[in-house]
Structure 1
């Protein structure tokens, strides 16, 4: 089933049959794909003629359901043994967001997820992150390890110099408290970059 067909089925719950196809096509033209539509905020969705409150609610619920299903699959067992599921989760959660968002996965000593927490929202190319806050929260949760994740709205997941610098600061601070930073994942529409795979951790 194509994105267009799936979108028509979803929109058909709240829109009259004659306009469903046009609204679905307009949404795909404006936001490119289902991920872009799901990540759009309510104000942006309302700019598409024919998208009302009920259709917007369905689209936002679709995103929440997708993110929660992916997180449940990724985090129901030790994170490091379900790496592909973790990558799928971070792509669903972050790849299509219009602004940078930095999150931290806090893990226990068996690498089971304790918390997945928002750290910072930013602009289209920067999210301010304070290493002391990341480490402070790890200590509050009695975490043993961390995985850092954030997105690049540009689509290119290649680490910037600022990304490398803040990651080194967090890794250095974590060592002082015997915390391990397993990886820093950067998500973009073009893929996912792993600091560990790149030799940066």
Structure 2
């Protein structure tokens, strides 16, 4: 077993031992991007920047062996990552940063088209929002009368299987943000998109509550594990 190294302070392998390999890896990325890389090589390259004096190749292989895939590594908890020899606080935080950075990047690219006036726009936004989210989460998209997005707010976090729909919290959020149009969404991180009878019942109740507050619930959209979506408005024929 390799000796566990402290991020940035490893002395077992001098920097020059792996300098040529690292330069070749960086050059490959600059020339052809990540398409030419195997998953363990992506991790190896990424870990260069958290572990400057360590051979990251065997660490990358250990990560893949433990978590089975690149996404499995990036979805793992920080404490679980730190159980891998060679992974300390800095490396674990760097790995956990990547999914959230990708999410923010995708959402930021949509900022110029933040009028959510079609179902495809809503679904694309929500797929970007839920990318990298590994537990069920309820999100409220708050809009004005022109369907311009004011804010997206997390209403509830659940387990990997379910999340509680809190009508009082949703109504309070809509009132606080002074929005007149809202879209409710939640994800199924381990299953395809589907609306259960409980989803439909609780959403209809919420729709009635919000109507009494002069706030229109436009839709309830579910995003599945592979980016598939279901729209309650479309399914139920809401006018």
| TM-score, normalised by the number of residues in structure 2 | 0.71
Which of 66, 86, 104 is matched with 1:68 structurally? 104
Q: 1:198 — aligned with what?
A: 235
Task: Tell me, in whole angstroms, the C-alpha distance in 2 between the residues paired with 1:33 and 1:84.
Answer: 30
Which of 131, 135, 154 is matched with 1:99 structurally? 135
Q: Which moved more, 1:59-68 or 1:91-100?
A: 91-100
2:176 maps to 1:123: no
Instruction: Report Cα offsets for 1:153-183 as digits up to 9, x if no partner.
Output: 3222212222222221222212222222222
Whether the 8 Å CA contact 1:46–1:52 is kept in 2: the answer is yes
Task: Tell me, in whole angstroms, the C-alpha distance in 2 between the residues paired with 1:115 and 1:144.
Answer: 12
5+ long unaligned stretches in structure 1: none
Give the aligned CA root-mean-square deviation in angstroms: 2.7
Q: 2:185 — aligned with what?
A: 149
Task: Tell me, in whole angstroms, the C-alpha distance in 2 between the residues paired with 1:22 and 1:88.
Answer: 37
- Structure-2 change in CA distance of 1:50 and 1:89 (3 Å): farther
Task: Tell me, in whole angstroms, the C-alpha distance in 2 between the residues paired with 1:30 and 1:83.
Answer: 39
Task: Tell me, in whole angstroms, the C-alpha distance in 1 between the residues paired with 2:183 and 2:109.
Answer: 17
Q: 1:8 — aligned with what?
A: 44
Q: CA deviation at 1:107?
A: 0.9
Whether the 8 Å CA contact 1:74–1:83 is kept in 2: the answer is no
Higher relative contact order (CA 8 A, sep 6+): 1
Whether the 8 Å CA contact 2:140–2:182 is kept in 1: the answer is yes
Q: 2:113 — aligned with what?
A: 77
Structure showing greater radius of gyration is 2
Task: Tell me, in whole angstroms, the C-alpha distance in 1 between the residues paired with 2:124 and 2:66.
Answer: 24
Whether the 8 Å CA contact 1:95–1:153 is kept in 2: the answer is no
Instruction: Report Cα offsets for 1:33-67 as digits up to 9, x if no partner.
Output: 54443333312322333322111121222222212
Q: 1:27 — aligned with what?
A: 63
Equivalent residue of 1:193, what SS? strand
5+ long unaligned stretches in structure 2: 1-34
Q: CA deviation at 1:200?
A: 6.2
| TM-score, normalised by the number of residues in structure 1 | 0.82
- Structure-2 change in CA distance of 1:157 and 1:184 (3 Å): same
